[in-house]
A and B are shown apart, each in its own frame.
Chain A
Amino acid sequence: MSSRKSKSNNLIHVDCLSQVQRILRERFCHQSPHNNLYGVQVQYKHLIELLKRTAINGESNSVLIIGPRGSGKTMLINHALKELMEIEDVSENILHVHLNGLLQINDKIALKEITRQLNLENVVGDKVFGSFAENLSFLLEALKKGDRTSSCPVIFILDEFDLFAHHKNQTLLYNLFDISQSAQTPVAIVGLTCRLCLSEDRSVREVLQKHFSVSKSLRSLHMLLMFALNLVTASHPFISATDLMEANQLCSMDSKANIVHGLSVLEICLVIAMKHLNDIYEEEPFNFQMVYNEFQKFVQRKAHSVYNFEKPVVMKAFEHLQQLELIKPMERTSGNSQREYQLMKLLLDNTQIMNALQKYPNCPTDVRQWAASSLSWF
C-alpha cells in the first residue's frame, strides 16, 4: 500500500506521491471490473457456466445470489456479464434487462422498463404507453412466441430481488419463472439479494441458491484504507501501522460520544442527572421536573462552580438535548400535555457518559465527582 519513491528530489516526490494517491483513491472509490475476484471463484465459475448455457444452448436458468451487503454480489454479476460479452458467440446473442427493486417499485413500472429495455415494437421513442394489462399481455405474448432454438435469450438481472417479492401477487416473478420453466424464449434470471430467506411463497418457484461468505464488507475495508491514504502527505510518505489504527478509530468512532463532547456544562449536568435517575429507578422514564429537581439538589448541596440557573434556562438546555436526540419522548407530543411532565428516556449508555466525561475539556471537578456517584454529596 505504500509508494516506494526515493526521497532524492522533493518536487518530483510530491508529484509522484499525489499521483499514487490519486490512483489508489480511484481504485478504492470505484468498483473496478478489471480487478480479480478473490474468494468467489467457484461461484463465479458456476454463474458464468449457467449464463453461457443460456446464451449458447438456449437453456432457461435461474439463479439467486445471496450475500450480505458489500460482499461483492453486484461485482460478481458485472464481472460475469463483462466476460460473457467478450465471447464473440455470446455478445450478439443475448439481450439483457437490468431491474432494481428500489427503482422499479411495482410491477407496472417494472414491466414498462422491461419492454423499454427489450425495445419491443410497442415502444415509442423512449416511452411505453398503454395500460398495465395491455403491457403485461403484450410482453407475455412476446416472450411466449419464441422457442428455445430460434429466439434470442434474455438475461434478467433483478437487483434487490427481495423487494420484487413484495409486489402484489408477485405477478412479475411468477411470470418470469413461468417462462423460464416452459418452452418459451430462453431466459436467465439472476436475482441479487442480501435477504437469506425470501418470504416463503408457494407460487414463486424455488431457485438455485448460492452463498457468499466474504467475512466483512469490502466497502468498509475500502473506506478504512481511504482514510489511511488521506493521511499520506509529502512529509509522511508511507502508510504505517499507526495510520491504520488512526483510520480505524475514525471509522469506529462513537458518534454519540462525539456529540456529548460538544455539550455545555449545564447540559452535561442534566445528562448526569438523568443517568442517576436511570440508576435509581431502573430504566424507568423520567420527566423534566424530575431532572430539574435532581439538578437543584446537586447545585444546592455540592456544587461550587456551577451557577444556579433559572428554570427556563434549564428548560431550554433540556429541549436542546431533545433536539440532539440524546433524549427521546416516550410518546408523541400532544398539545395539551405540559412539557415539564412529558416522559422521556435517555439514549446514552452509562459507559458512554463516563467515557465522554473523561475526555470532556475543562470539566469541573465537582461535576466529575457527582457523575461518579450520586450519593457522594451526602
Chain B
Amino acid sequence: MVYYPTRLKTRQTYSWVGRPLLDRQLHHKTYTEMCVKIGDSTEIHVEVGQFVLIEGKDNENPRVAKLVELFEDVGKVTFPVVALAPDEVVPTDLENEKIFFVKLSWNKEKFRPLSPKLFAELGKLPEGSSKCQKRVRTKPHCLESPSCTPAERVVTRIESKHSAAKSRQTPTHPVTPRARKRLELGSKTPNTRMSQQTSCASSGSLGVSKRKMALSEITSPSKRSQPDKLQTLSPVRKAPEKSGKIRLFGTKDDKKALPEHHMILRTRISALETTEVSGDTTLNPVSGGWRSSEVPSIILKPVIKKRGTKQQESQNEATSTPRRTCRKSSLLTLNRIRQQLRFLGNDKSDKEEEEFLPAAEISDSSNEEEEASTPPHPRRTPRSTSKNLHSSLKSSLQTPSKTPKKTPKPRTPRHATPQIRSRKLAARQPSSALEEARLRLHVSAVPESLPCREQEFQDIYNFVESKLLDHTGGCMYISGVPGTGKTATVHEVIRCLQQAAQTRNVPSFRFIEVNGMKLTEPHQVYVQILEKLTGQKATANHAAEILAKRFRTQGSPQETTVLLVDELDLLWTHKQDVMYNLFDWPTHKEARLVILTIANTMDLPERIMMNRVSSRLGLTRMSFQPYTHSQLQQILVSRLKHLKAFEDDAIQLVARKVAALSGDARRCLDICRRATEICELSHQKPDAPRLVTIAHLMEALDEMFSSSYITAIKNCSMLEQSFLRAILAEFRQSGLEEATFHQIYSQHVTLCRMEGLPYPTMSESMAVCSQLGSCRLLLVEPSRNDLLLRIRLNVNQDDVLYALKE
C-alpha cells in the first residue's frame, strides 16, 4: 500500500470562474469552471467535462472520474459516503441512517449492467467528438489526511438529497439510481470574491479556443460579463444524471469573513481507474439507509493546468478522447485514458510540477499511475463478508424504490449567503468641493492614519507586538468615552501588524473581533469566536467547551490569536463566567491568545468585576482621554486635507464648542457635515465658490444643542400653553412639585375666569394633558386614574416660564 505523506506547504485557493447558473429547484448554483490556485505561481483549472483523478485512502486504487457538474451548495444536508468493497454487503439493519453506500466494484465480474434505456441514450451522444479532449493531469499529491487542520481537511460526505432529487428527477432517466458523493476540500482561502466571469453557458464546449479564453480569464479576472463568450450548451449539461456523481467542495473562509461557500465539483465516475477494466463499469451508487463503520475519505484531484503546458495540451488534443464515456466506445476511451496517464506519468520531470511537489512524491505518483494499468485488487476491508451475500445487495440495488424517501421540509438554507443586493446604478461621485468634504467628514470614512492618537497607538502596538514575538498571551483593557477613537486605533494597530507580518517582521497571527452590542446574549460570544476561528457552528455551551479545550491543551495552533472584544461591559453576566473564561484563556501557556478589551468606563474592572476576574484581566490599562479642541481641529484639518470648504475660524469654532461639551469626534464630524448641508442650501448660485462660514456652523450647532423642549412649548396650542401656566400656578401655590389633575383643572378654570376666557371642559383638558404627556413635557400617570391623576413637569419650571413669555 502506497501512502503519500505529502502535505502541501503552499496554500490552496479555490475560486469560481464564470457566472453562476442558479438552479432554483436544487438550491445550488452551478458553475462551469473552478480555479485552484496553489501558492502564487500555479493555477489549476478545472472545468466541467474534464477528467480528474480521485484518490481514496487506499491509494492503490485511484480512480479517474469525469466532472459533470460544478456547483456551489446553498444549503443541503450532507452525509458521509461509505465505500464498500466489491463483495461487501451493505448492512441493512440501519434503516434510518442517512449514509450513502458506494459499491466499489471495479472488476468486470462485479459490474451490474446498466438498463437498456440508459444504454440507448448514451449511444446517442456524440461519441466521436474528438476535439473534446480530456486533460487529465492527475496530481498525485495527496491533499491531507482528515486529521489535518480544519482549513485543509478533507471530509467525504454524501448528501441526503438522493431520494428527494429522485422524486424530482426527470422522467427520462427513471431507472438510474443516483448518488452524489460529496467531497469537502476545506481550505482556508484568502480568496475574496468569486470572480464573476462569464462563460456561463459555455459549459461544455471544450475547444481549443475555449480553453485559451479560460486561461485569459484567469489571468485577468474581471467582474463584467463578456457576452461574446456565450457559447452553446454542451451535452454534458443535458444529461448530467446518468451515473453516480462526485461532488467536491471547498470551504472558503476568506479574509472578508464571508460565510462558508462550498465549491462542489459534481463528477461523474465514468472513466475508471484502470484501463484493463471494462469501460462499462461505473460506480454503482447504492443509496439507502445502511451503514458500515468504515468511511474512507475520497480525495478528488483537480486537473492541473499550467500556462507552460499549452504545447502538451495541444498534443493531448490530437489524442483526445470523447468527453463522455459511452458504453460503445468504452475501450477506445480507456485506451486514451491510459495514454494520458502514461503521458503524465512520464511527465514527472516537468519542472513546473517540481515547483510545488517534491520529486519523491512525483515518482511515487507516477508509479502509482503506472500501477493502474495492472488489474486492481478488489477492495476489501478486513471485515468484508462472503460473496454470496452479494446477491442480496444486488437485489437491493435493483429496487431503488425501496429506499426511504424523504421530502425536505422548507427551512432556512444553511448556507444562505448574507448579502444585500447590489445597486443597479453606480453611486454618483461627489461633484463639488462641499460634497467631497461631506464625504470625507463622514464618520465611516476611514482615515489613513489617526492623528492625535500616536502615543496610544504606539502603546497598543508595542503590547501586541511583544506578545507576538514572545509567543505568549495577555490582556489589555482600553477605556474612554464614546467617539475618542478606541476601536479605530486598535484596528489601525492590527492593520500595521498584519502588514508587518507579511514582511515577516512579526510572526503571523489571526485577528478576531467580537462586539458585545452585536450579540443577543453574552454567551453567544463563544459561538462567534469559534465560528470566526474555525468556521464551526455550535451551541454556546458546546462552543465554550471546544474553545476551552483548544486554548488549554497542548498542541494548540501555531499562530497567535488576537481577540478584540468591543463593548466589554455588555458581556457581564451574573456569574461573570463569560468574562472569567475570556481572561482565563490567555493565562495558559499554550493558548497564545492576546485579548484587547474596550469599554467606556475607566473603572469597569473594579466596579463590576469580581476579584478573580479583574485579577486575570491584569493591570495593563489604557485610557483614551477626550479630544481637546486643538486635537479636534487637527482631526478636521487632516480629514479635509487641502480641500477648501471651511473657513479656518469656522473649524476652530466647532472644535472648541465640541471640546467644551464632550470631546466626541463623531459629534464634531456630524456638525461639520450638517454645516455643509446648510451652506449648500443657502447658496443658490451654483457657480459661486462656497465656503462654510461661522454663520453656517452656528446654525448647525444650534440645531444640535438647542433644547427641544423650549421649541416644543413655544409651538404648543393656546390651550396647551394655558394648561402649562395652570400647572406652574398650582405648583407655586402648593409649594409642591406634583399635583393632581383635579387641582390643576380647577386652577385652570380659575385662571380662565380671571382673564375672561371661555374655560375648557374637563374632557378637553384631559386630552391636552395626555397630549403633553405623550411628548414627555409632563410626566403623567396612566389616565385611568382620571381626576386623581398625578402630574409632574418634566422640564425645568424656569424653562417653561421662559418659553411661555415669548
Known: A150-B422, A197-B708, A197-B709. A57 touches B520 (CB 8 A): no
Known: A121-B417, A183-B445, A194-B775. A152 touches B670 (CB 8 A): no
Nearest Cβ on chain B to A178's Cβ, whole angstroms: 7
* Chain A residue with Cβ nearest B708: A196
Q: Which of B258, B708, B763 contacts A254 (CB 8 A)?
A: B763
Known: A196-B712, A208-B703, A209-B703. A56 touches B420 (CB 8 A): no
Q: Which of B410, B423, B426 contacts A125 (CB 8 A)?
A: B410
Indicate if the CB atoms of B709 and A196 lie closer than 8 Å: yes
* Chain B residue with Cβ nearest A56: B428
* Chain A residue with Cβ nearest B481: A202
Indicate if the CB atoms of A151 and B420 lie closer than 8 Å: yes
B521 at the interface (CB under 8 A from A): yes
* Chain A residue with Cβ nearest B516: A169
Q: How far is B773's CA from A194's CA once the two chains are assembled, in angstroms?
A: 10
Comparing B272-280, B345-353, B434-442, the segment that makes contact with chain A is B434-442
Q: How far is B774's CA from A194's CA once the two chains are assembled, in angstroms?
A: 7
Q: How far is B520's CA from A71's CA once the two chains are assembled, in angstroms?
A: 36
Q: Which of B418, B426, B600 contacts A139 (CB 8 A)?
A: B418
What chain A residues lie within 8 Å of B413 (beta carbons)? 121-122, 124
What chain A residues lie within 8 Å of B776 (beta carbons)? 195-197
B5 at the interface (CB under 8 A from A): no
Known: A145-B258, A197-B708, A257-B761. A175 touches B518 (CB 8 A): yes
Indicate if the CB atoms of A325 and B786 lie closer than 8 Å: yes
Known: A49-B677, A252-B763. A118 touches B443 (CB 8 A): no
What chain A residues lie within 8 Å of B503 (beta carbons)? none
Known: A181-B443, A184-B444, A349-B787. A124 touches B410 (CB 8 A): yes
A93 at the interface (CB under 8 A from B): yes
* Chain A residue with Cβ nearest B531: A137
Q: Which of B518, B717, B774 contacts A216 (CB 8 A)?
A: B717
Indicate if the CB atoms of B517 and A169 lie closer than 8 Å: yes
Q: How far is B443's CA from A347's CA once the two chains are assembled, in angstroms?
A: 55
B733 at the interface (CB under 8 A from A): no
A367 at the interface (CB under 8 A from B): no
Q: How far is B775's CA from A142's CA once the two chains are assembled, in angstroms?
A: 36
Indicate if the CB atoms of A211 and B715 lie closer than 8 Å: yes
Indicate if the CB atoms of B428 and A145 lie closer than 8 Å: no
Known: A68-B771, A197-B708, A254-B761. A141 touches B418 (CB 8 A): yes
Chain B 441-455: CB-based contact to A (< 8 A → 1; otherwise 0): 011111000000000
Chain B 248-266: CB-based contact to A (< 8 A → 1; otherwise 0): 0000000011110000000
Interface of chain A residues 63 through 82 with chain B (CB within 8 A): 66, 68-69
Q: How far is B422's CA from A95's CA once the two chains are assembled, in angstroms?
A: 10
Indicate if the CB atoms of A154 and B420 lie closer than 8 Å: yes
A309 at the interface (CB under 8 A from B): no
Chain B 407-422: CB-based contact to A (< 8 A → 1; otherwise 0): 0001111001111111
Indicate if the CB atoms of A142 and B420 lie closer than 8 Å: yes
A191 at the interface (CB under 8 A from B): no
What chain B residues lie within 8 Å of A136 (beta carbons)? 518-520
Indicate if the CB atoms of B763 and A253 lie closer than 8 Å: yes
A2 at the interface (CB under 8 A from B): no
Known: A69-B771, A345-B788. A256 touches B420 (CB 8 A): no
Indicate if the CB atoms of A185 and B410 lie closer than 8 Å: no
Comparing A18-26, A127-135, A232-240, A268-276, the segment that makes contact with chain B is A127-135
Among B412, B708, B774: residue with most chain A CB under 10 A = B412
Q: How far is B421's CA from A367's CA once the two chains are assembled, in angstroms?
A: 77
Nearest Cβ on chain A to B402's Cβ, whole angstroms: 31
Q: How far is B742's CA from A349's CA once the two chains are assembled, in angstroms?
A: 7
A140 at the interface (CB under 8 A from B): yes
Indicate if the CB atoms of A181 and B444 lie closer than 8 Å: yes
Q: How far is B768's CA from A215's CA once the two chains are assembled, in angstroms?
A: 12
A328 at the interface (CB under 8 A from B): yes
Indicate if the CB atoms of B420 and A149 lie closer than 8 Å: no
What chain B residues lie within 8 Å of A118 (beta carbons)? 420
Q: How far is B775's CA from A8's CA once the two chains are assembled, in angstroms?
A: 52
Chain A 335-378: CB-based contact to B (< 8 A → 1; otherwise 0): 00000000001011101100000000000000000000000000
Indicate if the CB atoms of B420 and A145 lie closer than 8 Å: yes
Nearest Cβ on chain B to A123's Cβ, whole angstroms: 8
B307 at the interface (CB under 8 A from A): no
Nearest Cβ on chain A to B477's Cβ, whole angstroms: 18
Chain B 771-797: CB-based contact to A (< 8 A → 1; otherwise 0): 100111100000000111000000000
Q: Which of A57, A175, A211, A214 contacts B427 (CB 8 A)?
A: A57
What chain A residues lie within 8 Å of B771 (beta carbons)? 68-69, 217
What chain A residues lie within 8 Å of B425 (beta carbons)? 89, 92-93
B734 at the interface (CB under 8 A from A): no
Known: A69-B774, A129-B411, A203-B567. A93 touches B423 (CB 8 A): yes
A153 at the interface (CB under 8 A from B): yes
Known: A136-B520, A351-B749. A149 touches B427 (CB 8 A): yes
Q: Which of B423, B670, B709, B764 contacts A151 (CB 8 A)?
A: B423
Q: How far is B442's CA from A311's CA once the two chains are assembled, in angstroms?
A: 78
Interface of chain A residues 88 through 145 with chain B (CB within 8 A): 89, 92-93, 95, 107-108, 118, 120-122, 124-125, 128-130, 132-134, 136-145
* Chain B residue with Cβ nearest A125: B410
* Chain A residue with Cβ nearest B706: A209
Indicate if the CB atoms of B412 and A124 lie closer than 8 Å: yes
Q: How far is B764's CA from A351's CA once the two chains are assembled, in angstroms?
A: 15
Indicate if the CB atoms of A206 and B670 lie closer than 8 Å: yes
Q: Which of A184, A206, A254 contacts B704 (CB 8 A)?
A: A206
Indicate if the CB atoms of A181 and B761 lie closer than 8 Å: no
Interface of chain B residues 202 through 219 with chain A (CB within 8 A): none
Interface of chain B residues 63 through 118 with chain A (CB within 8 A): 74
* Chain B residue with Cβ nearest A145: B419
Q: How far is B786's CA from A66's CA once the two chains are assembled, in angstroms?
A: 28
B666 at the interface (CB under 8 A from A): yes
Chain A 170-212: CB-based contact to B (< 8 A → 1; otherwise 0): 0100110010111111000000001111000011011011110
Nearest Cβ on chain A to B513's Cβ, whole angstroms: 11
Indicate if the CB atoms of B520 and A171 lie closer than 8 Å: yes
Nearest Cβ on chain A to B74's Cβ, whole angstroms: 7
A36 at the interface (CB under 8 A from B): no
What chain A residues lie within 8 Å of B428 (beta carbons)? 56-57
Indicate if the CB atoms of B677 and A146 lie closer than 8 Å: no
What chain B residues lie within 8 Å of A122 (beta carbons)? 412-413, 416, 418
A222 at the interface (CB under 8 A from B): no
Known: A142-B419, A171-B520, A182-B444. A347 touches B424 (CB 8 A): no
B667 at the interface (CB under 8 A from A): yes
Nearest Cβ on chain A to B488's Cβ, whole angstroms: 10
Indicate if the CB atoms of A145 and B256 lie closer than 8 Å: yes
B674 at the interface (CB under 8 A from A): yes
Chain A 248-275: CB-based contact to B (< 8 A → 1; otherwise 0): 0000111111000000000000000000
Chain B 567-579: CB-based contact to A (< 8 A → 1; otherwise 0): 1001000000000
Indicate if the CB atoms of A121 and B416 lie closer than 8 Å: yes
B524 at the interface (CB under 8 A from A): yes
* Chain A residue with Cβ nearest B445: A183
Indicate if the CB atoms of A151 and B666 lie closer than 8 Å: no
A302 at the interface (CB under 8 A from B): no
Q: How far is B521's CA from A108's CA once the two chains are assembled, in angstroms?
A: 12
Q: List 20 A-B contacts (CB under 8 A).
A: A60-B442, A66-B708, A68-B775, A69-B771, A120-B418, A120-B420, A122-B413, A133-B521, A145-B420, A146-B420, A152-B420, A196-B709, A196-B775, A197-B776, A208-B703, A211-B715, A252-B763, A325-B786, A328-B788, A351-B749
Given A150-B422, A174-B518, A255-B763, 18 further pairs, Cβ under 8 A: A56-B428, A57-B427, A58-B423, A68-B771, A95-B421, A120-B416, A121-B74, A132-B520, A152-B423, A178-B517, A195-B776, A196-B777, A208-B674, A209-B703, A211-B708, A217-B771, A252-B764, A325-B786
